[in-house]
């Protein structure tokens, strides 16, 4: 998601730390490794790819393994942007990519006061639950 008036993060893809953290959490929960294994930053095919597109590809990888996302919880660590006004839109976008109800997606933010992030950096901590397809 882009925030009006904010500078985006630099990355090989779009730098969407929320989608990337969630994708890594889903891959880990499914025993599928991490983003770098499936979408290496040395592959030009993934240069500039949108975080929601990466997330959809991870959901497809889970499905190949007979798994589906169930719930997730994300905490954005950043001084800015402030996400409160966008929280519901972020939840809806993530839920759509995961094919779950928006109520299964929790998104919150905190300032990294003393956590080691400085300047314009941002991070995200994500936890995800996956289960066999059709089994909720």
48-71 average pLDDT score = 94
- Counting Cα atoms < 13 Å in the Cβ hemisphere of 13 gives 20
Mean pLDDT (whole number) for 4-32: 75
pTM, whole model, 2 decimals? Answer: 0.84
DSSP codes of every residue in 41-87: TT-GGGTT--HHHHHHHHHHHHHHTTEEEEEEEEEEE-SS---GGGH
Is the bond preceding 81 in cis, omega lying within 30 degrees of 0? yes
**What does the pLDDT average to over 63-73?**
97
All domains of the chain, ordered by start, with CATH? Answer: 17-132 (3.30.1330.50)
Rounded-to-integer distance, Cα 106 and Cα 88, Å: 10
Lowest mean pLDDT of 8-12, 17-21, 24-28, 117-121, name the range. 8-12
């Amino acid at each position: 998601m882009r925030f009006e008036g904010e500078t985006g993060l630099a990355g090989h893809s779009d730098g969407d730390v929320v989608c990337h953290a969630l994708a890594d959490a889903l891959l880990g929960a499914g025993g599928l490794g991490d983003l770098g294994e499936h979408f290496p930053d040395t592959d030009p095919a993934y240069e500039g790819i949108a975080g929601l597109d990466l997330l959809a590809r991870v959901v497809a990888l889970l499905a190949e393994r007979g798994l589906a996302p169930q719930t997730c919880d994300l905490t954005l660590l950043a001084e800015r942007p402030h996400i409160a006004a966008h929280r519901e839109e972020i939840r809806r976008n993530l839920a759509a990519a995961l094919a779950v109800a928006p109520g299964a997606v929790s998104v919150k933010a905190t300032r990294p006061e003393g956590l080691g992030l400085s300047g314009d950096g941002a991070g995200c901590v994500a936890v995800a639950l996956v289960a066999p397809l059709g089994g909720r």
